[in-house]
Amino acid sequence: MREAAFARRVVGTWVLAVLLVSGSAVVEAGSLDDMISPVSMPTVNEDPRSTTEIRPMFMYTKISEDFVTNGGNYSVVAVQLRLAITERIAFIASKDGYIWLRPDDVVPDDDGLANLAFGFKGSLIQDEEHAFILSGGLRYEAASGSQDVLQGFGKGVLNPFLSVAKGFDDFHVQAYTGPGLALTSDDSSYYDVALHFDYRLMEQLYPLLEFNWRYTLRGGDRLPIDQEGWDLVNLGSQDAGGESVATIAFGGRWRITDDLDFGAVAEFPVTSRHDILDWRVTTDLIWRPFGWGSLL
């Protein structure tokens, strides 16, 4: 609980600071087009800009030895899609793909489809002059995947969210926050916060640092354990309510061309609780065929 209180204070202070400086001219603002998208927690953290893009990705996650499976790993290959309907509104499909599950104990090795998650986002404030954008969105994760890889249970999760970004010349900050509300008591409900910081070097290279925090609002009724599945898996753990896990991710993005970005990060828990996550490597490639900040 002390970890949760600390995370709330940090996030509240940071978001307030971003909002207060959003109209400031003390530092040159830069451009919304110069910003990059976050890399870690890709099925959760959403860029506030409305763009048309194709985003293939690969994630490898080492399962904690303290988890109920006594370790193991899982890998995911996926392709996210986004479609800018207008300059301010976009359709998003942020979760899909194929999972290879390789636990050390309890359940057998298997592979299968991940759940599908999709929805819409739209900018509430979009200030190009000061490189500031605040967006809201609504996303639904359907229980459409394979139960053999811990997907496809329950009746889905509804996720209203806010995402904000601000540029300070070559330095950029971005934040995401929102709950995942289970539509049945079998699944757990949670609350997510994600922070992203990057700095542009040599026009094309963006070193970055990201902080992710997930707090379980209410445990589910499916499994009699107190551990949850981080961002990809909703175990419905009965005793996970009130628990949280926080991670730090570091890495970078390389802007290969004006419409093509490659990203890679390593991610580690920084709380005493790890739940399923020991460490993770996430890589992606973002292609915006109509350019950065352009419409379809």
| CATH code for the domain of 74 | 2.40.160.40
Query: What 3-state DSSP class applies to 257?
Result: strand
Burial class (CB in 10 A: 0-12, 13-18, 19+), 158: middle
> Is 240 part of a structural domain of the chain?
yes
> Residue for token digits 């904690």?
64
pLDDT value of position 237? 97
> Is 296 part of a structural domain of the chain?
no
> Residue for token digits 């890709």?
42
Answer for the pair 91, 118: CB distance below 8 angstroms, yes or no.
Answer: yes
Query: pLDDT means per 10 residues in the chain (296 residues)?
Result: 52 50 50 92 96 97 96 98 94 98 95 98 94 97 97 97 95 97 97 97 94 97 96 96 97 95 98 96 95 56
Answer for the pair 70, 18: CB distance below 8 angstroms, yes or no.
Answer: no
pTM of the model: 0.89
For residue 70, give every residue at least 6 positions away whose Cβ sits within 8 Å of its Cβ, in sequence order, or none.
103, 104, 105, 106
pLDDT value of position 26? 44
> Is 294 part of a structural domain of the chain?
no
Number of domains in the chain: 1
pLDDT value of position 25? 40
> Could you tell me the residue range of the domain that residue 77 belongs to?
2-287
pLDDT value of position 173? 97
Phi-psi region of 115 (alpha: psi -120 to 50; beta: other; left: phi over 0): beta
pLDDT value of position 202? 85
> Is 69 part of a structural domain of the chain?
yes
Answer for the pair 192, 214: CB distance below 8 angstroms, yes or no.
Answer: yes
> Is 193 part of a structural domain of the chain?
yes
> Is 293 part of a structural domain of the chain?
no
> Is 292 part of a structural domain of the chain?
no
> Is 159 part of a structural domain of the chain?
yes
Alpha helices in the chain (DSSP H): 2-21
